[in-house]
Structure 1
């Protein structure tokens, strides 16, 4: 498959006639090109170009190529973009562009999407010193971009309006006269160092500059920075640049590791990044040190920390039966997976449950009887913290598998137990004694006792200058699950962060929480919640420290992480390595000690006394 052909453009400033005339000519002489990406200010500086803008927006003048822009500021921006953002076709979580008119798309906020197999990330807007709401990026946009940078895979193209302020460091080919800070942002330097794109494209400096490639700390590929001049600039500097990058997802390891002879070291040194982070903290009022960004594929985080309990399979072991790294390997050695591989099953299908090659793949995309056993084993492993099957239920007190040493209190209808693999100390569960799929469907007497345990835990943690977050995941396929309500203590200093982190996480997944604000007691909130839960869909809810309840009913084909609540809190509490409960296993002796310590402090409050 041929590599996509992309045009890049600097600040348009509303000069659409000049831009699209040039694009049409380039496309005719050197094309065809697949898309045009514009960085820097897209809208006019003065009102006299609004008629020219309207001709394209209203369809009187054609746009020759699919065009994407991030410079959502300038004269007329609010008038065009506000109604577009409210259009029904643009509602929801759209990272691949809000349609303004035929062939024109606004990349709003921040995001990452795939186009022609290229992975494209962007930060829309610019830093604001006057509090303007339109055309400026927010803390949430930055947080979301950092979370995206944590995801597996190489980002091919990173679009920002402003230059990274440190890009000229270590550059032998730096042009004269662009050392002033105007049009640069230290936060962009920090983001570029985290995102590690293959191409970083920016505008706003008023000049064209293609920097020598630089290497990235912690990555094998190089980055090429391109700064573009404004359309129609008086110095006739280059404002359109063409590239034809092979998507990283289709490149071999040898290809992606290649470094041109003039490659420099990264301009973003550790010392400089620390300085930038401090400066960004001052400018954005956000404690970057404390802001740990939630993510859902935690396997790569574990891999960097050297854990051998990763989610992903070791290809070397699966294909050959041995791995020279042995116990130091960051990936999983699984004999069941190897047996399936030897029987002709596709490694990607075993490892990820899917294969993007589809019919082009020469291996099997299905598991036999033994493979089904492997699949079930893996499923149980992923959900063992809060699922059970019949007599194997971990939470039924009559089950031979119950770990009774974790139990701290047993009432008439509910009991309290230390979570297996606790996220933090004193991470407990409130569990109905009778086997049932969720706590929203329990009998009234069970609900009353559950509420007493909740109230007691709130007081217990308040005495420790902590608050508590309660949450529950209700699976549509969870008829065999044993209900458990998670109770996780949060330091008082972070209590106000909980709401923001969950809203941000929801935005990343493409949904918005519905909200219940109980006027009196949290039991009233649960009563409202029960009336809204129909049992036909998977369901997630949490109770915030102030009593507000956030909930989301999961649609049939919606991708929703089973460990969503834990992963968000792990990020907020800066313990991302504990997002998977299996990374948090304690010895039985440590578990007993933790339960006994909790019992002593909880004794006077225990509803079972």
Structure 2
């Protein structure tokens, strides 16, 4: 869902629509993406980008740069160098993504980036800090040139410096993502793993368990990525491929050194993997001769006596919408009574008895009275005045107004509407992704395979009546679909029917063969001529606030 030369997805967002890896494809629409990987930057952006430009000139072009570890400097000495790029005096040469929100200047620059209008809402594909520079915040999943990328941004709590640590919600979201179908191509973390260095060529500094994170080891074992990229204590380390429990593909672990390290260890590495969604099943199953068994002992889960620190959620954090706010229940562990959002909002859950979250009728009744879900689930809501719902339990027969929008007739309409998430009639099993203002769902009666709908979360007659500040999220969804279908050699036709007494708005997205895309406009015009009307073409350069609006 991007406005720049890259592909997003949100949790992430379109994971359920990803083509299964077993689908054979004779040829790829495009060449495999070319990705550069980098270790701790430590604010040395001039050194890094000089090297990137050199590599790009000699063996490029490359599509993106992924940086793991500490991006910002250790001292104020390197702050001017970082400021030059973020404030526009120097240019970032290629789309660059980084993890970690710690180091000198991190709070200052990232807080400012978080407040930009373009970074509002639920985003897992990176917050734009400056042109071509994106911060991967918390944890998430997105698509990058067809590659499925999952990340944990942050480090383990040490009890001393609590800046830049990952939270319980960050980990819980990844555990939920691990249960989704499809293969993860890249997994980005900062900490090294605690038991992944077990072969004869392991550098002693990597084999040393100090500074490793057992929780990252667990996540790597559950997510089963094709590539796991992390920092490894200042050295470059490429482990032999290893097998994964209950999966056919292998994983390659890559550890990268810090930029400009004095030992001349390799800090930048290039890969060009074919996305798993584009590979034949025989290619997925291939095992190099030096493949080893998995270094992770899944039968001996590490017991975490420490608690992952709960850092305050920002108003744009929406993992609760995905039932992923908490660590999933495993081996009889309690899920702390967290509520299932699908059941609470719709009255049903496709997972039934297998759901790891609580199905509570009383909580659902409170939710239907417009009580805030976060308040019901966590006992508090961090959205503040931006929240449209009540923050105390409503008495029987009473309900909270939603910013004066929930009149009795409107409430009845929403409860009977097929598209309102709070309606008992909603087909929740078709929902692929829920954002801040829109959600994406499979069509109940599809015209073609992978026919999807983009639907406003709020009950409204058409997308042109939605507030202007929601347009950005809609454009990101459309961009994500364009990128997803382009990887399948298809284009997308978006259309919406608007008429008096329109029910809940839904923007249709129909994939068509890329070879026929150039004929779409002509066919539409021919059909309209037969029916006695003409299409009016809007200037594609119109700004969002200059487009026609309907009230």
Do structure 1's residue 198 and structure 2's residue 226 form an aligned pair?
yes
Partner of 1:309: none
Give the 3 Å change call, closer, same or farther, for CA 527–296 of structure 1 in structure 2: closer
Checking the alignment, whether the CA contact within 8 Å between 1:126 and 1:136 is kept in structure 2 is yes
Checking the alignment, whether the CA contact within 8 Å between 2:242 and 2:295 is kept in structure 1 is yes
After TM superposition, give the deviation of residue 176 of structure 1 in Å: 2.1
Residues of 2 paired with 1:266 and 1:233: CA distance? 31
Residues of 2 paired with 1:421 and 1:80: CA distance? 41
Partner of 2:390: 516
Partner of 2:264: 236
Among 464, 469, 475, the alignment partner of 2:363 is 469
After TM superposition, give the deviation of residue 291 of structure 1 in Å: 3.4
DSSP 3-state at the match of 1:105: strand
Checking the alignment, whether the CA contact within 8 Å between 2:366 and 2:393 is kept in structure 1 is no
Checking the alignment, whether the CA contact within 8 Å between 1:72 and 1:135 is kept in structure 2 is yes
CA offsets, 1:436-488, max 9 Å, x none?
xxxxxxxxxxxxxxxxxxxxxxxxxxxxxx983325999xxxxxxxxxx9xxx
Give the 3 Å change call, closer, same or farther, for CA 271–28 of structure 1 in structure 2: same
CA offsets, 1:489-527, max 9 Å, x none?
xxxxxx9996049999x9xxxxx9742134772433267
What TM-score results when the alignment is normalised by the length of structure 1?
0.54
After TM superposition, give the deviation of residue 15 of structure 1 in Å: 0.5
Do structure 1's residue 279 and structure 2's residue 308 form an aligned pair?
no
What do you get for the CA RMSD once the two structures are aligned? 4.1
Partner of 2:45: 16
DSSP 3-state at the match of 2:398: helix
CA offsets, 1:3-53, max 9 Å, x none?
111000000000011000001001101111110000010000000111111
Checking the alignment, whether the CA contact within 8 Å between 1:78 and 1:134 is kept in structure 2 is no
Checking the alignment, whether the CA contact within 8 Å between 1:41 and 1:204 is kept in structure 2 is no
Checking the alignment, whether the CA contact within 8 Å between 1:173 and 1:212 is kept in structure 2 is no
Residues of 1 paired with 2:340 and 2:246: CA distance? 19
Residues of 2 paired with 1:117 and 1:137: CA distance? 26
CA offsets, 1:547-577, max 9 Å, x none?
xxxxx99967644999xxxxxxxxxxxxxxx
CA offsets, 1:188-213, max 9 Å, x none?
00000010000000015111100000
Among 91, 102, 120, the alignment partner of 1:62 is 91
Residues of 2 paired with 1:497 and 1:473: CA distance? 10
Among 535, 540, 548, the alignment partner of 2:413 is 535
Give the 3 Å change call, closer, same or farther, for CA 154–86 of structure 1 in structure 2: same
Partner of 1:290: 334
Residues of 2 paired with 1:561 and 1:133: CA distance? 45
CA offsets, 1:339-359, max 9 Å, x none?
xxxxxxxxxxxxxxxxxxxxx
Q: Trace 1:360-509 onto structure 2 (pairs within 5 A).
A: 468-471=362-365, 499-500=377-378
Among 37, 50, 64, the alignment partner of 2:79 is 50
RCO comparison, higher one (Cα < 8 Å, 6+) = 2
What TM-score results when the alignment is normalised by the length of structure 2?
0.59
Give the 3 Å change call, closer, same or farther, for CA 234–252 of structure 1 in structure 2: same
Residues of 2 paired with 1:535 and 1:104: CA distance? 44
DSSP 3-state at the match of 2:290: coil
Among 118, 126, 130, the alignment partner of 2:155 is 126
Residues of 2 paired with 1:254 and 1:501: CA distance? 50
DSSP 3-state at the match of 1:201: strand
Checking the alignment, whether the CA contact within 8 Å between 2:374 and 2:380 is kept in structure 1 is no
Residues of 1 paired with 2:177 and 2:234: CA distance? 29
CA offsets, 1:322-375, max 9 Å, x none?
xxxxxxxxxxxxxxxxxxxxxxxxxxxxxxxxxxxxxxxxxxxxxxxxxxxxxx
After TM superposition, give the deviation of residue 135 of structure 1 in Å: 1.4
Among 66, 69, 79, the alignment partner of 1:37 is 66
Q: Trace 1:310-329 onto structure 2 (pairs within 5 A).
A: none
After TM superposition, give the deviation of residue 100 of structure 1 in Å: 0.4
Q: Which has the higher helix share?
A: 1
Partner of 1:139: 168
After TM superposition, give the deviation of residue 89 of structure 1 in Å: 0.4
After TM superposition, give the deviation of residue 59 of structure 1 in Å: 1.2
Partner of 1:151: 180
CA offsets, 1:111-152, max 9 Å, x none?
101111100000001112237564111111111111111111
Checking the alignment, whether the CA contact within 8 Å between 2:389 and 2:401 is kept in structure 1 is no
CA offsets, 1:367-397, max 9 Å, x none?
xxxxxxxxxxxxxxxxx998xxxxxxxxxxx
Give the 3 Å change call, closer, same or farther, for CA 269–422 of structure 1 in structure 2: closer
Do structure 1's residue 245 and structure 2's residue 273 form an aligned pair?
yes
Checking the alignment, whether the CA contact within 8 Å between 2:71 and 2:99 is kept in structure 1 is yes
Checking the alignment, whether the CA contact within 8 Å between 1:472 and 1:541 is kept in structure 2 is no
CA offsets, 1:411-455, max 9 Å, x none?
xxxxxxxx999859xxxx9xxxxxxxxxxxxxxxxxxxxxxxxxx
After TM superposition, give the deviation of residue 64 of structure 1 in Å: 1.1
Checking the alignment, whether the CA contact within 8 Å between 1:147 and 1:294 is kept in structure 2 is no
Partner of 2:487: none
Instruction: Name the count of aligned residue pairs.
Output: 367
Partner of 1:602: none
Checking the alignment, whether the CA contact within 8 Å between 1:248 and 1:256 is kept in structure 2 is yes
DSSP 3-state at the match of 1:164: coil
DSSP 3-state at the match of 2:304: helix
Do structure 1's residue 90 and structure 2's residue 115 form an aligned pair?
no
Checking the alignment, whether the CA contact within 8 Å between 1:214 and 1:263 is kept in structure 2 is yes
Residues of 1 paired with 2:58 and 2:138: CA distance? 34
DSSP 3-state at the match of 1:227: strand
Q: Trace 1:584-595 onto structure 2 (pairs within 5 A).
A: none
Note the residue ranges of structure 1 that are not aligned, 5 or more in a row. 298-383, 387-418, 430-465, 475-484, 486-494, 507-511, 543-551, 563-609
